[in-house]
Amino acid sequence: MSNVPLLEVTNVNKRFGGLKALQDVNLSLETGKLHAIIGPNGAGKTTLFNVVTGTIPVTSGRIKFLGTDMTNDKIHRISRRGLARTLQIKSVFANMTVRENLWIAAQSHHGVFSPFKSWKKCVRSVEMADIICEQIGLTSLADQTASNLSHGDIALLEMGLALATEPKLLLLDEPICGMGPAETEQTVIKIQEISKSTAIIIIEHDIEVVFKIADEITVMANGTVLAKGTPESIAANSDVRNAYLGDDDDD
């Protein structure tokens, strides 16, 4: 299994009418690395996440996850294969506690969710919620209503909701967007910790963070892959450096 790519995207195109959002995208990502995808506004980064997770279908091309073709699979089937994703716009159950949010996600993943059953009676899901709560560093806030959390803690909770589905690959779409320095540092530490047990691909506009945590960076521009390599090789690439690394805009 170690020789099988984590994610393999082959000649993927996505068109919206006359707009070519993705153009012959080819990407092969190895297991055991924290990957980052960067690029200017409109580069196609989020569109790539969307086609990988089944949110939108590809126009042409193939997508494989751990050697299994999942091109244009339904979202729930892709999730069952072991992919989970967070969004740019944070989405949690605001009127529920941190623990209840995680319990619902765990219940849904196990396929036995019932709105009429007390969360305290679902031992397996309660245990999973507590484990993830500790993993994301929110144990002290487990009984806090999500609406009262800071922006950074909401981002951690959303990661927890994704982790509750027990993914093999976690896609993070701008997880530190809008955070201050302290929250950014807290979230970056957790991403690094999570990456030790779960594969992560991150889209992030904060170049300093990307170069700090990524093992491998893919640069996208105009719907295609411009460059891919280590942070050192990307930083030394004059085209990438001149065109993108100074640009704070992102999609």
How does pLDDT run along the chain (251 residues), one tens digit per residue? 458 999 999 999 999 999 999 999 999 999 989 999 999 888 999 999 999 999 999 999 999 999 999 999 999 899 999 999 987 666 789 999 999 999 988 887 665 545 545 545 567 778 899 999 999 999 999 999 999 999 899 999 999 999 998 999 999 999 998 899 999 999 999 999 999 999 999 999 899 999 999 999 999 999 999 999 999 999 999 888 776 655 444 45
In this prediction, residue 241 carries a pLDDT of 79
Q: Domain 1-82+168-251: state its class.
A: alpha beta
Q: What is the pLDDT of residue 250?
A: 45
Q: What pLDDT score was predicted for residue 120?
A: 55
Query: How far is the C-alpha of 203 from the C-alpha of 185, rounded, in Å?
Result: 17
202, 205, 207, 210 alpha-carbon torsion, rounded to 10°? -10
Enter the tokens of residue 60: 């042409």
SS in 3 state form for the chain?
CCCCCCEEEEEEEEEECCEEEEEEEEEEECCCCEEEEECCCCCCHHHHHHHHCCCCCCCEEEEEECCEECCCCCHHHHHHHCEEECCCCCCCCCCCEHHHHHHHHHHHHHCCCCCCCCHHHCHHHHHHHHHHHHHCCCHHHCCCEHHHCCHHHHHHHHHHHHHCCCCCEEEEECCCCCCCHHHHHHHHHHHHHHHCCCEEEEECCCHHHHHHHCCEEEEEECCEEEEEECHHHHHHCHHHHHHCCCCCCCC
Look at residue 1 in the predicted model and tell me its pLDDT. Answer: 45
pTM: 0.87
Where are the domains positioned within the chain?
Answer: 1-82+168-251, 92-166
Q: d(Cα 2, Cα 71) in Å, to the nearest integer? A: 22
pLDDT confidence of residue 211? 94
